[in-house]
Amino acid sequence: MVLWCPDWSVVAALDEAERSPRSPAAVLSANVVEVCNGPARSEGVRRGQRRRDAQARCPDLALLPANPDRDARAFEPVLATVEDLRPGVAALRPGLLAVRAPGSWYGTETAAAATACQAVVDGGVWDVRLGIADDLFTAEQAARTADVQSWAVVPAGGSAAFLRDRPVHRLQDDGPQGRELVGLLQRLGLRTLGDLADLPGQAVEHRLGTYGAAVRRRARGEDRALFAARTPPPELDVDVAFEPPLDSVEAITFSVRTTAERLVSQLAHHQLVATGVRIEAESDGAVCSTRTWLHPRHFGARDLVDRVHWQLQSATVGGSLRARKESGTVRAPIDRVRFVPEVVEPAAAHGEALWGGAGDDLVERGVARVQGMVGFDAVRRPVLQGGRSPAARQALVPWGERAVDLRPVDRPWPGRVPGPAPVRVFATPPAAEVVDDAGHEVCVTDRGVVSGEPRRFRVRDATDGQGLPWQPVTAWAGPWPTDEGWWSGGTGPSARFQVVGADGRAWLLVRAPDGWSLEAAYD
């Protein structure tokens, strides 16, 4: 049995964008329509059209980006719904799944199809179609002939007769290889799968290759390709209830230790480790505190206990717990804590090195103790990210958290100063002065033209307002102009210079609209 949800990429994209599913929409890849829905097709939009042509046909067309991960995530509830009815579901691609026809479980195959259709519709998917046949390809084609919320059952042994009148363009869903084969078959005058099935097998393999021979076997109903059914994932969540509820962070932290050890042991039994865990705290049956924690390696029992302590401690006011809700702030004791592993990985991928990792463990435990004393967000580590200035390329991440939402390093970043990187970046850049031979301040125009060569510079001492002695410039490079954040009132146009003083030390100076400043120092 094959279950098909048409135009799934568009359905998932509209749901993510919180737009009406009845609005005309198309998913684009490389400015070409990859998938479009029924309202868009009624306006003349077709798969393979360029963006401009699609908008010309339908000016109200919603253009959505392609995202296979989003499509797979959105299809997961459909897989789980069918899996509850019949284990052994296989996700062929987002919007299309296959399962062994559970006719014996529900009396007849028609009853099984009706049950599966009703379950998926109750789950919120309106357009669903099913097909049942002897083989996978025929079942998929049968699903494509069914009406909305309906099904088509091909009698046993009737695959070849059913496929005979199907047009060859149905093979386009096999990807680029299928589209290329469809074009070739149409140029050869073959319009239906029956035309292909009537050709001699040896001639088809000689002319169309291995893939063409496999398609011919499908068209004859002789393909018995199997699919890999997925195994339902184990239930890994663990929780602990408190009776009576507890209102002390220390008491809760002590009480969850055994539960944290049980979670780690349970994961180890499945040869897994958790690198992302969601911790939920409930008060009076409602979740009042939830946060997803990430670990640079994997969680141990003590790591989980520390996260519970930090999460609840950050919500403590005057010795009681504060749960934040949309309606405001409330105070209540905690009656349940739950650990939900959100990211699990094979334990073999996190095995220790040849000589162990005792040193790393001691460092992590020592830093964790410091975090317990001064707070989770108070201990941070520097992480490299993309940016133009040395300060912009630095990001501080709480120790133990995985760095996310960083600017990519591999982008061009026009205006970035080339390496080597400075060894010291000033948190508060001190003011500076740079002059030319005539003693005039060096300026940079909007087009990046320097008014004169830098000959001398000095740094102003912020303590007494007096400037340090002038120093001759023995070498300089630049400028590297940038204009960042001009659309939101940012720093405006600026330019960076590398200068080397008479003492041999190198500096990175910035000319901004409000004057010169010393941004960084080189070794």
What torsion do the CA atoms of 447, 449, 451, 457 make, to the nearest 10 degrees?
110
In this structure, the answer to whether residues 248 and 345 fall within a common structural domain is yes
In this structure, the answer to whether residues 336 and 442 fall within a common structural domain is no
pLDDT of residue 461: 62
DSSP one-letter code for 431: E
Domain-embedded: residue 418: no
Q: CA separation (Å) from 12 to 77, 125, 297, 431?
A: 12, 11, 32, 53
- Structure tokens that stand for 373 in this block: 């004393």
3-state secondary structure of 81: helix
Task: Give the other-Cβ count within 10 Å of 305's Cβ.
Answer: 21
Q: CA separation (Å) from 166 to 170, 193, 195, 523?
A: 7, 6, 10, 73
In this structure, the answer to whether residues 382 and 328 fall within a common structural domain is no
Q: Please answer whether residues 440 and 504 qualify as being in contact, where contact means their C-beta atoms are separated by less than 8 angstroms.
A: no
Domain-embedded: residue 231: no
Residue partners of 250: CB distance under 8 A and separation at least 6: none
- 86-133: pLDDT as tens digits: 888 888 889 999 988 776 677 788 888 999 999 999 988 999 999 999
In this structure, the answer to whether residues 293 and 388 fall within a common structural domain is no
pLDDT of residue 57: 92
Domain-embedded: residue 417: no
Domain-embedded: residue 226: no
Calpha distance 396→275 (Å, rounded) = 20
Calpha distance 401→441 (Å, rounded) = 46
In this structure, the answer to whether residues 207 and 264 fall within a common structural domain is no
Structural domain of 261:
238-350
In this structure, the answer to whether residues 506 and 430 fall within a common structural domain is yes
109-122 helix and 68-85 helix, angle to the nearest 10 degrees = 130
Q: Please answer whether residues 330 and 323 qualify as being in contact, where contact means their C-beta atoms are separated by less than 8 angstroms.
A: yes
Residue located via tokens 């319009």: 191
Domain-embedded: residue 356: no
pLDDT of residue 325: 35
SS (H, E, C) 326-375: CCEEEECCEEEEEEEEEEEEEHHHHCCCCCCCHHHHHHHHHHHHHHHHHC
Calpha distance 486→234 (Å, rounded) = 52
Q: How many domains does the chain have?
A: 5
pLDDT of residue 162: 92
Domain-embedded: residue 225: no
Domain-embedded: residue 209: yes
In this structure, the answer to whether residues 440 and 334 fall within a common structural domain is no
One digit per residue, the tens of pLDDT, for the chain of length 523 reads 999 999 999 999 998 888 888 899 999 988 899 899 999 999 999 988 999 999 999 999 999 998 888 898 899 899 889 888 888 888 888 999 998 877 667 778 888 899 999 999 998 899 999 999 988 889 999 999 999 999 999 998 899 999 998 888 878 777 778 888 888 888 888 889 888 889 998 888 888 888 888 888 888 888 777 676 766 667 888 999 998 888 888 888 889 999 999 999 999 888 888 888 999 998 888 888 888 887 777 888 988 998 888 888 765 444 444 444 333 333 578 889 999 998 888 887 666 655 555 556 667 667 766 766 676 677 788 888 888 888 888 888 877 676 777 888 877 788 888 878 888 888 888 888 888 888 888 888 878 788 888 888 888 765 444 557 888 888 988 888 888 766 655 566 888 898 898 888 888 888 888 888 888 888 7
pLDDT of residue 302: 87
Query: Which of residues 126, 153, 180 is at a domain's end?
Result: 153
pLDDT of residue 372: 64
In this structure, the answer to whether residues 248 and 278 fall within a common structural domain is yes
In this structure, the answer to whether residues 252 and 297 fall within a common structural domain is yes
Most distant CA atoms of the chain, gap in Å: 98
Query: Which of residues 153, 180, 199 is at a domain's end?
Result: 153
Q: Please answer whether residues 308 and 255 qualify as being in contact, where contact means their C-beta atoms are separated by less than 8 angstroms.
A: no
pLDDT of residue 4: 93
In this structure, the answer to whether residues 333 and 405 fall within a common structural domain is no
In this structure, the answer to whether residues 326 and 393 fall within a common structural domain is no
Query: Which of residues 107, 130, 153 is at a domain's end?
Result: 153
Could you please report the per-residue DSSP string of 242-263? EEEEE--HHHHHHHTHHHHHHH
- 466-517: pLDDT as tens digits: 557 888 888 988 888 888 766 655 566 888 898 898 888 888 888 888 888 8
Calpha distance 284→245 (Å, rounded) = 9
Domain-embedded: residue 224: no
Interior/surface letters 35-67, b for 16+ CB within 10 angstroms, e for the rest:
bbbebbbeeebeeebeeeebeebbeebbebeeb
Length of the chain: 523
CATH number at residue 183: 1.10.150
In this structure, the answer to whether residues 141 and 92 fall within a common structural domain is yes
Calpha distance 63→24 (Å, rounded) = 9
pLDDT of residue 466: 52
